[in-house]
Structure 1
Amino acid sequence: MKEKERRSSDNSDLKKTLLRYKEETNEDRLPQQAYIIIQKAIRNLQLQPNEAFLEREIIEMLEMSRTPVREALIRLEMDRWIRLIPRKGFTVEPIVKENIEQLCQIAEALEGVAAELATLHIGEELLEILDSLIANQEKYLKENNLKAYLDIDNQFHNLIVESSRNERLKNIMDSHSDQLYRARLFTINERELPVRSIKEHRAIVAAMRAQDSKAAQLLMHSHRHRGGQEILRIIENKPRTKKKE
């Protein structure tokens, strides 16, 4: 009975979160709306790795009909966010070393190139925005607000990618960055405080301000490699998340 009550409470909290995401979504098409909401819940770990849910539970939580939710779930499986269970529901994809290692390799290579290209295009106004993002990271770090720190970190990296003016590079990074964010959020409380990351961010911006594109590339590549190795070590040593029945 207690397990049933706990499950009901968990679902109630999740429903509130999903409906909040629904209100925030600027999307009229219901299948796309359902996709965005569910993907965001997985990304932010409101739906945990390996967590199992029935399709009808998600339909009820989203207050939608079956068709758009089903379309969203099929797309989410194609994008490797979930695994569909025939005639039942779905299981959230686990966070495993092999997958995250590949994501980290992509981020190392492409964000290094993005930093190089951004150096050729970026102006002082955007450099000052990067400076302000670093200052906010320091603020949140002092407050031990690691979730807010991570969100600002994401903005920092996304701005550099956008400043590369390479649309294909940006599209590739967009397709993987949320998966990498989920892994970083999953491990953030077990990593060392990211003081070193802030120093590396400052060095990247300094290279960009000096218009040294090769230095910016190398610094970004090294930064992403070191951070990725930290994440991978933690994931390797973490016990696998058990499925909720």
Structure 2
Amino acid sequence: MYKFLSLKDHVYQYIADQISKGALVPGKKINENEICQQLSISRTPVREALIQLSSEGVLENVPRKGFIIKEMKPGEARQLYQVIGVLDGLAAQLACSRITEKHLKDMAFYIDSMELAIDSDNYEMYYKQQEIFHDIYLEECGNEVLIGVLSQLKNKFVSKTYDLSTDKKGKEILHTTNAEHRIILSLFEKKDSAGLSDYLQKTHWNPELACTEVTS
């Protein structure tokens, strides 16, 4: 399913992706001119996107300083995991009956791609592949409001990026997370909607792991 995106939406997604990948970090000021140059667009859609991200709590508009990426307060990540787990589980539950053999094959492909990315020390590739993996079932849930709310909540995370060639713990975390992706795929194959909801809420988005996990 493809949707037309306005210039503002493109900028919004670009900034959100940069935050999720760790290219933009908490406390860092957003350089509006740099974004305009990188995307070859005017200042207006950039400003509109920044205002939207600020209203959603991702950025803070500081007087005389501009838009700053907000630091996540203690306990906020855990609370976000609790909410995202419920909503992501609901999305999977709604999508379960709509998932086709092609969807399942695509999900399996992206799981293998993530494994390759981890083994080749390519965090950015892993990040992109896991995002596509989750989008497969999110786009089939049939609820645009749910998709939008999940996107906004996930944008609040500033994920840690790892140098996988030296960070052994980071690589282990990604291997564990990708093993969870295989279980999610298995539950979709079994058409176990209740199991999907439970697993995503209690395991994949386990609030107790909020401080140690990276993007799921």
* TM-score normalised by structure 2 residue count: 0.76
Q: Stretches of 4+ moved more than 6 A in 1?
A: none
Task: Give the match's secondary structure for 1:46.
Answer: coil
Greater mean deviation of Cα atoms: 134-143 or 65-74: 65-74
Q: 1:185 to 1:159 in 2, by over 3 A?
A: farther
For residues 27 and 77 of structure 1, the distance between their equivalents in structure 2, rounded to whole angstroms, comes to 20
Q: 1:165 to 1:48 in 2, by over 3 A?
A: same
Q: 1:33 to 1:211 in 2, by over 3 A?
A: closer
Query: What is the identity, as a one-letter code, of the residue corresponding to 2:27?
Result: N
The number of residue pairs the alignment matches comes to 204
Per the alignment, residue 83 of structure 2 pairs with 106
Q: 1:162 to 1:85 in 2, by over 3 A?
A: same
Query: What is the identity, as a one-letter code, of the residue corresponding to 1:183?
Result: S
**Cα contact 2:82–2:201 (8 A) shared by 1:** no
* Counterpart pick for 2:208 among 217, 226, 229: 229
* Counterpart pick for 2:24 among 43, 47, 57: 47
Equivalent residues in 2 for 1:72-221, closer than 5 Å: 72-180=49-157, 182-183=158-159, 185=161, 191=170, 192-221=172-201
Structure 1 unaligned regions, length at least 5: 1-25, 236-245
**Cα contact 2:89–2:200 (8 A) shared by 1:** yes
Give the deviation of 1:69 after TM superposition: 4.9
* TM-score normalised by structure 1 residue count: 0.68
Give the deviation of 1:179 after TM superposition: 2.4
Per the alignment, residue 5 of structure 1 pairs with none
The percent of aligned pairs where both chains have the same amino acid is 25
Structure having greater relative contact order (Cα 8 Å, sep ≥ 6) = 2
Q: 1:185 to 1:95 in 2, by over 3 A?
A: farther
Per the alignment, residue 59 of structure 1 pairs with 33
Q: 1:61 to 1:102 in 2, by over 3 A?
A: same
Structure 2 unaligned regions, length at least 5: none
For residues 154 and 121 of structure 1, the distance between their equivalents in structure 2, rounded to whole angstroms, comes to 19
**Cα contact 1:207–1:215 (8 A) shared by 2:** yes
Q: 1:120 to 1:179 in 2, by over 3 A?
A: same
Which is helix-richer, 1 or 2? 1
